[in-house]
Amino acid sequence: MPGYTIDIILNHSITIAAVIGVVRFRKIHKDFYPFLLIVWLAFINESLSLALIYTIGSNTVNANIYVLAEYLLLMYQFYRWDGSTAKQLCFFAVLGIVIWAGDNMIFHTLQENNSVFRIFYSFVIVFFSIDRINSLIVWEKKSLQKNAVFLLCIAFLLYYGYKAFLEVFNMFNLPFSYPFYRSLWLSLSVVNCFVNIIYASAILCIPKKQEFILLY
Amino acid sequence: MHPEETRIYIAVLTAGCILGILIIFLFVTIIRYHRRKVALYLEKILADTQLMEQDRARIASDLHDDLGSSLSAIRLQLDLLPEDSRYIQTVTAARRTIDDAIGKVKQISKNMMPITLKEQGLKEAVVEYISMLPGNNKGKVQLEWNIHEQGIPQNHKIHIYRIIQEVLTNALKHAQAGVIAIQMHHRNNMLELSITDNGVGFDKRVLKRSRKGLGLRNITTRADILKAAVYLNTAPGKGVSYQFLIPLPPLLQ
């Protein structure tokens, strides 16, 4: 049980970011609203997961639906940050829906822990994050340390990179024991907690108004 | 956990840690090199604008002292001509042309390097610039000035002056504005300069993508030198509103 308690505490660290998001809502530029929605959705999903695990013993259905919502919102968030990638984002959003439907409705069911879509969406988010980071390195004229987009993209890189790596174990259904898988997901929860702290500090760095920047 | 599983688990954690360390290293190096790049960029634009200001000052001085003096001398020589009814009309026309030329040289010289800025301050220089605007344009500009200029470095003043000059030129030349409001206030530890017009406005994204807008580039470059935050609010048909938040050097706060 102590293991679960640590898991619950680590995963609920999103609460800090969610609360900061509520407090700073009026001081946050609307380009960041999709991210705020993700944070609040994550908080709701964590609480719902906890309730469902203690009542029906499984949170797979809401988790499978949540990852699709998170993916689409992140695609929309990347669009708000850089409208010029609209076509690629639309393509990947549609492709994501197709893969999700295939993974959760055709090849498996919503009641299973499906990994194909999770690996796909983690990769897509990592790719778009790298693209954003590179664009910021080239165009940004102010310090990146307090740049909310930069902090968030680094956090995405950390979390989704590690998540994609771990989901491979799940996808191949390797014959490991339950404690092994539990320890594996616990390590992801530690990364998740670290990333949630970065989310919270990034929300504190989100400006009220977007500065006007011309390319060099 | 089985001992074999424990070994695999440790291997996975090690791989994860290596991945994490690589990303953190990436983060640190990006910040370090980006900071250096920004510093170099600032040094470069500072050197460029200083060179440009020096050139402007030299050309303004040459225009005022050499060309202006020569024109004044010609004017004097014309005055010394004996009155002859045959040439009176030509001489009068020549005097008028030379007076006009002297006036234009003075105006160009002042635009290039406003002496008033150095001698009387930023507000007076801006007022003078507005008064020199052609035709009925000067009536379109409203000025609200609520700051004490003492202690604001001279190089800050020249950049602020150039920003105002460039925004006014854009508003009058391209935006066909009927009213332009300039406001200067103190806000916390900063100077807040707002310039708003009711002209035709433009699409920011189109301008950014087209990489046009030399005037706007000059404005943002000056703002970068001042380490100012620039907020631009505009849309086609909705006018243009600039806001500059210029941090003051620590001693002046």
A215 band by pLDDT with thresholds 50, 70 and 90: low
Distance CA A205, CA A148 (A): 5
Residue A20 lies in a domain: yes
CB distance B167 to B223 below 8 Å: no
Which CATH number fits the domain that encloses residue B174? 3.30.565.10
Which residue in A has a C-alpha nearest to residue B218's C-alpha?
A214
Interchain CB contact of A209 with B (< 8 Å) = yes
Structure tokens of A81?
Answer: 């940050």
Q: In whole angstroms, give the CA distance from residue B25 to residue B20.
A: 8
Please choose, from the candidates A209, A139, A31, the residue with its C-alpha nearest in 3D space to the C-alpha of residue B244. Answer: A209
Owning domain of residue A145 = 2-205
Domain count, chain B: 2
A172 touching chain B per CB within 8 A = no
Q: Under a CB-based contact definition with an 8 Å cutoff, are residues A155 and A198 in contact?
A: yes
Same domain for B102 and B132:
no
Nearest to A131 by CA among A94, A95, A79, A90: A79
Number of domains in chain A: 1
Interface of B with A (CB under 8 A): 1-2, 5, 8-9, 12-13, 15-16, 19-20, 23, 26-27, 30-31, 33-35, 37-38, 41, 204-205, 208-209, 211, 213, 216-217, 220, 224, 229-232
**Contact between chains at A161 and B19 (C-beta distance less than 8 A):** yes
Cβ separation B8–A180 shorter than 8 A? yes
Pick A144's closest partner by Cβ from B5, B30, B231. B30
Distance (Å) from the alpha carbon of A212 to chain B's nearest alpha carbon:
5
Predicted local confidence at residue A156, as pLDDT: 95
Kindly state whether residue A52 falls inside one of the protein's structural domains.
yes
In a domain, A114, yes or no: yes
In the predicted model, residues of chain B with pLDDT beneath 70 are 208-213, 250-253
Tens of pLDDT along B223-239? 999 989 999 888 888 88
Nearest beta carbon to residue B35 from set A143, A162, A212:
A143
- Does B251 lie in the same domain as B160? yes
The band of A216, judged by pLDDT with boundaries at 50, 70 and 90, is low
Q: What is the mean pLDDT of residues A2-27?
A: 88
pTM of the model: 0.81
Mean local confidence (pLDDT), A156-183: 88
A191:B38 CB<8 A: no
> Does ipTM surpass 0.90 in this model?
no
For the cut 90, the answer to whether the pLDDT of residue A94 exceeds it is yes
- Per-residue pLDDT at A32 exceeds 90: yes
Q: Do A211 and B230 touch (CB under 8 A)?
A: yes
- Hey, which of A38-42, A209-213, B204-208, B213-217 has the most confident mean pLDDT? A38-42
Long-range contacts formed by A45-53: CB under 8 A, 24+ apart: A46/A11, A46/A12, A46/A14, A47/A12, A49/A11, A50/A8, A50/A12
Tell whether the model's pLDDT for residue A102 goes beyond 90.
Answer: yes
Separation of alpha carbons B69 and B85, rounded Å? 28
Residue B30 and residue B48 in one domain: yes
**Which chain A residues touch B232 with a CB distance below 8 Å?**
212
> B3 is in which domain, residue-wise?
1-113
User: Does residue A213 sit within a domain?
Assistant: no
Which residue do the tokens 């990489």 mark?
Answer: B211
Q: Which residues of A touch B216 (CB under 8 A)?
A: 214
Do B173 and B48 lie in a common domain? no
Shared domain check, B208 and B164: yes
Query: Do B76 and B125 have their domain in common?
Result: no
- Give the phi and the psi of residue A54 in degrees, each rounded to 5: -80, -20
The three-state DSSP-derived secondary structure of chain A is CHHHHHHHHHHCCHHHHHHHHHHCHHHCCHHHHHHHHHHHHHHHHHHHHHHHHHHCCCCHHHHHHHHHHHHHHHHHHHHHHCHHHHHHHHHHHHHHHHHHHHHHHHCCCCCCCCCHHHHHHHHHHHHHHHHHHHHHHHHCCCCCCCCHHHHHHHHHHHHHHHHHHHHHHHHCCCCCCHHHHHHHHHHHHHHHHHHHHHHHHHHHHCCCCCCCCCCC
**What does the pLDDT read at residue B252?**
47
- Per-residue pLDDT reduced to its tens digit, A14-24: 999 999 999 99
Interface of A with B in 93-122 (CB under 8 A): none
B15, B27, B232 ranked by CB distance to A154: nearest: B27
Best of B28, B31, B35 to disrupt the A interface (most A CBs within 10 Å) is: B31
Q: Which residues is B101 bridged to in the sheet? A: none
Mean pLDDT of the A76-97 span: 92
Neighbours of B57 (CB within 10 A): 16
Contact at CB, A215 and B208, closer than 8 angstroms: yes
Task: Write phi, then psi, for B247 (nearest 5 degrees).
Answer: -70, 140
Question: Is the minimum CB–CB distance between A55 and chain B shorter than 8 Å?
Answer: no
Residues B5 and B90 in one domain: yes
- Domain boundary among the residues B113, B147, B172 is at B113
Tell whether A212 is covered by a domain.
no
The answer to whether residues B133 and B64 belong to one domain is: no
Smallest Cα distance from B46 to chain A, Å: 14
pLDDT tens per residue, range A177-198: 888 888 888 999 999 999 999 9
Query: Which site among A134, A193, A214 would you substitute to test the B interface, given the most B Cβ atoms closer than 10 Å to its Cβ?
Result: A214
Closest residue of chain A to B7, computed from CA coordinates? A180
Chosen domain end from B55, B78, B113: B113
Cβ count within 10 A of residue B87: 12
- Across the interface, whether the CB atoms of B31 and A141 are under 8 A apart is answered no
- Closest in B16, B211, B232 to A187, CB measured: B16
